[in-house]
Structure formats: structure tokens, C-alpha cells
Chain A
Amino acid sequence: MKQTIVQHTDLTFLIIIGISFFFLAVITALMFYFMYKYSRKKNPVATDITGNTTIEILWTVIPTILVMVMFFYGYAGFKQIRNAPSDAMTVKVTGRMWVWNFEYENGVKSDTLFVPTGKPVKLELNSVDVNHSFYIPAFRIKEDAVPGRKNYLWFEPTEDGEYYVECAEYCGLSHSYMLSKVVSMPKDKYDAWYNAPRPKEGADTTKPKSDTLKTK
């Protein structure tokens, strides 16, 4: 089974935090130990130590190797985040103050992102006014929607469910209300919603969606 983006990101996080915690613990422990062992009471006269080339090289080289490892994990995960599979379905996402709009390949429009579970989805991000950022915390992905630019993002939901979409780039008064949802559902339910007859272009498609959700 291929590692998902979520697993890879969480693993990278744990590796970096793990190494960091080790360093933090060693630094803190040594500092307090020295403060105790070499307090003025216990050690009234210090030893005239001004440096040590070997140890300077060691604590330059070892951390360099470690951060290269961290970089590698981050980069490997990043490549996955950026390379959408070729069979991904495309949805156009438009940010405007302060809503998200989704437009599907057949012209269907929605303010909630409905997707079939198990199918990769590629989002083409754009904005009509200021910078926004399309963020799905549960999937660990985010990319800005910048006016005049075509940015993209992809994900593949592995389980049915509802996941929050948040705007992560400050965009004014109602920035914190610029929320939406990804609703991931079984393919047949999704197809029923996707192909449902709609009254006319630009009509509110949020109502039929909840009906289809109930019927199946």
C-alpha cells in the first residue's frame, strides 16, 4: 500500500520533532547539570577552556547531516503533494471574499466540494479578488489562490466523510468565515449527484445535493 500524503507528512513531522526533542533535552539537561556541578559554591575557580576544534567540527557536521535527512523527508513528501496522478478528476476552485466556489468538468457548480472516495482530485485554484489559501487540515495540504495565477493542489480521499476547508491566507473582514467542506462519498452516490438534472446554469446546486445524499 502506497504511503498517503497524510502519513508522509505526519511521519516527517515526527522525525523532525523527535530529533529536535532529543537535542532540546540534551541541551537543557547539560545546562542545568553544569549549573549544579559548577556552581560558584562547588567550583569557585573556573578552568580556562576557550574552545576545542574537534568538538566544533563534530557539532557542525552531525547537525548538518541530520538536517539533510530532514530535508530529504520533507522533499520526498512534497514531490508527492505536487504530482497529481494523470487520472485525477479536475475541479476548478475560485476564491472570492469570502466564499469558495467549485466548478466541475461538466459545468456543475457548487459551494461544497463533493468528491468520490478513492478517486484523485486535482484542484485548479484561482481568485477573483485578493489572495486566499485553500487549506484542508485533515489532508495536510494547502495552496494559495492568487488572482491572475493558476495554482493547483491534489488529494485522494480514502474514506467517506466530511472534511473542513479553511481559508488560510488573510483576506479581510470575514476571513475566518471563509469555510467550506469536502464531502467524500461512495462513487455511485457521487455519480447520482454529478449527473442529476439541474434547473439551469448557475442555479443553486446545494439543494439537490442534500436530497441525493438522503435518498441513497
Chain B
Amino acid sequence: MDNVSYLDYKGKHKGLLGWILSTDHKRIAVLYLVSLIAFFLVAMTFGFLMRLEMLTPGKTIIDPQTYNALFTLHGVIMIFLFIIPGIPAVFGNFFLPIMLGAKDVSFPRLNLLSWYFYIGGAALVLISLFTGGGPIDTGWTFYVPYSLRTQTNVSLAVFAAFVLGFSSILTGLNFIVTIHRTRCPGMGWFKMPLFAWGLYSTAWIQVLATPVIGITLLLIILERFFGVGIFDPALGGDPLLYQHLFWIYSHPAVYIMILPAMGLVSEIIPTFSKKDIFGYGPIAMSSLAIAFLGYLVWGHHMFSSGISDTSRAIFSFLTFIVAIPTGIKVFNWVATLYKASIDARAPFWFVVAFIIIFSIGGLTGLVLGSLNTDIHLTDTYFVVAHFHYVMFGGMGLLFFGGLHYWFPKMFGKMYNEKIAKLGTLIFVIGFNGLYFPMFIMGYLGMPRRYYDYLPQYQIYHVISTIGSWVLIIGILILVFNLLKALLSKSNTTTELNPWGGTTLEWTVPTPPPLENFDVIPTVTHGPYYRPNLIKPEKSH
């Protein structure tokens, strides 16, 4: 077989069919990429409209019912269609097999099926907007009893989330088996790239936690149609049972969202530092620790719900513990830069921005893990700010970071780095303008999911709305810069290793051929090993 790139490869089908029927992990990754970016831009537009509505007290542009539907859809689309599949579905699919020295994932057809579940779920979300009682207005958490009482199309929307869950489970299952079974000769567990460790930890959460939300969402539908009395207090059900079941999935799910991003940081830093990562073992193990401990802290979403005081104290304690492995990662990343040789190219800028923004998000999480302060701050804008700092500043920034890191390898095109850096800078300024005022108004008592607000909060809302405009300009610069590179014919690159990375994806042709490797490689060193560095002085 000659080395035709996966982009040009002609299989049994041509044109669009050649893509949507392809079981090649790289083509599936690109299918995900296109769909994810489309949904991201839709949900971003909803966010933009919400911020515009918040510019003045009372009605600015839309009525309350529309506003409630907008924040619900913003959450549902961002969470279920962008952040959760996000990095695993795009970069995991594309690069995990290559980084392991494999020709594909273990179950290529299951992989394609998971994309169909994803698109099927997305289609159901769209259909739910125009059928039944119209767009869902429960918030992305679908709390009962409100979700049982509202006339909007809850049943179809939560069924969509149920279907999306299968996409997530299948991807997780595929990655677990791929990591166990397809590592190339010589690649022991501790010679795997850290991105693979991040995906591995994530995959176990996807497989073990997602079924819980699946069943819970089905129970909502059952309750709505047949009134079985599990959640509805009027029928003897327990609304708190729903919250427990929802967060048993949804708290681990925030680690589904962030662990792959952390894995990506662990790839980008050694590449641009031109040195091995500091603390490979602790970083790899902290991913597993986060995945494990993440199951034990769901109750911190319920500190004001009326659960017993003892359980609140236990959940608070465990929440503080889960901060430790996250801290360990950040410390090791920064320590990697010590005596490095740093070339701060465009992808590195995302990592620098990530470390600052994500740290702010993580540290403000401590305030929310603490019992008395959480009781004041839960369900206020402080939580909204915290959540966006960790999720958007974490997974969102690194989604763009990963895209800029692997773009030349994926498409054989190079983008304009100066414009990418400019876009990143505007992104970061806008991001802080948008979300930082939310910390302040949250502490001052501005509840979340409010269509209208008291006049004393307006100044913060105005700054935040202006921030949203700046942020969107930054995002559009990044997106158009990449689109321009993709569509232009002049800036083609076949360079194998533009950044000087050490992992296996930089050894295959650019763009990679159908089955990645002609000859399966053999690995003899750790993933970030470089010969010819200065030997460290022994301290004794």
C-alpha cells in the first residue's frame, strides 16, 4: 500500500459517503470536529443572546420564557454536544491510536456507530425544539419536580441526552480496549503518552457513570408519562433522589470534561520546553486519582438541598481532597519549565492561558467546597463564574489549543501563527471580562438563572456583556484563521514534526496515511525522552 493520506484516500465510497461511512479513526475524528464546532458556535450564539438580555434590568431583547429556554439549550448543547465528547471524540479518536503505535482503535465500526449516536442525539435535540411544548426550559440539570410539571418538551430532550450517553459509553469502551490491547511493542503502561493516561481515566468514568444518568433520564420520561411516583413528591416520590442520581453521574462527568484537557497540557508543555516532563508518574497517577475520587464528591452540589448535616460535612471533606491531585498536576507542569528550553509558539500560549485561568477556576472551587461559604454562594453567579473558568477556561481553551497543536499534522496546512496568538490574547481578555465580574456579583448575592435583576447588579452585568463581545471576537479570529489556512492552497506543509515533539504522531507522514504506520514502531524510551540534554547535577 502506498502512503495516500487519509484525506485523499478513495475507498468503497466516494465524496461525502466516503466520510460518513468510513471507519477510519481519523475521518471519524474529523466528522466529530466539524459537528462539534458547529454546535459550539450555536451554543455560543445562545450565550451571546443571554448576555445581551442581561445588559439592562427588565426586558432588553427577549421575554422570560425565551431566556429560560436559551440558558437551558446553551447548557445542554455545550455540555452534551461539545464539552463531554470534545477532546476524546476529536483528538482522542485522531491521535490515540497513532500515539500508541496502532493502526486504528480496537473497534472501528463501534467508533463510527458512536458518531451516529452523537448525530442522532443532536437531531433529537433539534426536533425537540419544534415539537410538543417547544424548547425545554428546565436548565441543563433537569431538576424534578419542575421538569415533571413544565409543559415544554422535556421528554424528547432528555431522551436525546440518553442517546448521546451511548455515544459517550461506546467511545469510552473503545478507548479502554484500545489502550489495553493495541500499544506497540515496548510501550509499557508507563511509556504511554500522558494524553493516553488522561483518556484512559476519562474512559472509565464514561463507561461506569454514564449508565446512571441514562437510567435517571429514562425515569423522568417514565414519571412524566405514567406518574410512577419515584421522583414526584405528590405521588410519594423524592425530589432529592433525582439530585443524587443526577450528580452521581454529573460530577464525575466534569472530570470527563477536564481530564483529557489536562492530558493535552501534558503533551504540549514538553514539546515546546524541549525537555522531558517533570513528574510523569505523579501526573499519570493523579489522573486516576481524580477519576476515582470524582465519584465520591457529588453531594457538594447539594449542600443547600436539605441532605443531612453529617453527609454535607463528609462531602465537603472529600471535595477538598480531590483538589490535591489537580494541584499536583499544575505544580508538575510549572516545574517542567524549570531549566527547559522554551519556544512559546501559538499552541503554548493556550497552555499558559489555561494554567492561569484554570487555576483561578480550581481555586475558587475551594470556596464552593467549603460548607459555610458554599451555602452563601451556591446557585449564584459565583458558581456560574467558577464553572466557566474550569470548563471553558479548561476544556474550551485546550480544545482550541489542541486544534492549533495538531492542525498541521491533521490537515497538512499551517495557519498564521501571529493571528493565532492575537486571537488567543483577545480570547483571554474577553474571557476574564465576561466571567470575572460574575464572581463579584455572585458574592453580592446575584442568583443564577435570573431573567431580571435588582439594579445594584447592573454595572457587573454591563462589564460582563461587553466581555462577551470581546471573547467572541477572539474566538472568531481563531476560527477564521484556521478556516483560511484550511481553504488556501499555498500554505501546504508535509513537515513531519513542525514543533519538535517526541511522541509517535510526529513520526508518521503529514497528513497521516490510512493505517498510520507502514511498519508498527517499537518503543524503547519514555514518551518525552530526548537524548543530548544537559545531565542534571547530582545533589549529593
Contacts and interface: CB of A to CB of B under 8 A. Distances in A.
What are the 7 tightest A-B residue pairs by CB atom distance, in nearest-first order? A137-B445, A74-B370, A77-B372, A148-B233, A78-B371, A46-B275, A20-B363
B342 A9 contact: no
Given A16-B366, A142-B378, A168-B447, A35 B279 contact: no
A56 B447 contact: no
Given A50-B277, A60-B324, A78 B312 contact: yes
Interface residues of A, number: 80
A13 B373 contact: yes
A131 B143 contact: yes
A70 interface: yes
B457 to A, nearest CB: 11
Contacts of A175: 68, 449-451
Given A24-B359, A173-B64, A130 B145 contact: yes
Given A43-B340, A49-B338, A130-B149, A135 B363 contact: no
Contact of B342 (A21, A39, A79, A140): A39
B274 interface: yes
A25 B452 CA distance: 36
Contacts of A35: 337, 342, 344, 352
Contacts of B343: 39-40
A55 B539 CA distance: 13
B355 interface: yes
A139 to B, nearest CB: 9
A63 B273 CA distance: 26
B334 A81 contact: no
Given A9-B373, A59-B331, A74-B370, A47 B536 contact: yes
Interface string A52-94: 1001100110011001101101111111111000000000000
20 contacts: A13-B367, A20-B366, A35-B344, A38-B339, A39-B342, A44-B341, A45-B532, A46-B275, A46-B340, A52-B335, A56-B279, A56-B328, A71-B320, A71-B370, A166-B445, A167-B447, A170-B448, A172-B68, A173-B68, A175-B451
Interface of B: 64-65, 68, 137-139, 143, 145-146, 149-150, 233-234, 238-240, 273-282, 304-306, 309, 312-313, 316-317, 320-321, 323-324, 327-328, 330-332, 334-335, 337-344, 352, 355-356, 359-360, 363-364, 366-367, 369-376, 378-380, 443-445, 447-454, 530, 532-536
Given A46-B275, A59-B331, A71-B370, A34 B447 contact: no
Contacts of B444: 137
Nearest to B451: A176
A138 to B, nearest CB: 7
A16 B328 contact: no
Given A46-B340, A172-B146, A23 B363 contact: yes
Interface of A: 5, 8-9, 12-13, 16-17, 20-21, 23-24, 27-28, 30-31, 34-35, 38-40, 43-52, 55-56, 59-60, 63-64, 67-68, 70-71, 73-82, 129-131, 133, 135, 137-138, 140-144, 146-149, 151, 164, 166-177
Contacts of B138: 170
A132 B523 CA distance: 58
A201 B432 CA distance: 53
A145 to B, nearest CB: 9
Contacts of B530: 46, 48
Contacts of A71: 316-317, 320, 369-370
Nearest to B356: A28
A70 B64 contact: no
Nearest to B237: A148
A12 B374 CA distance: 10
B373 A16 contact: yes
A168 B274 CA distance: 50
B146 A131 contact: yes
A169 B335 CA distance: 42
A29 B431 CA distance: 21
Contacts of B454: 164
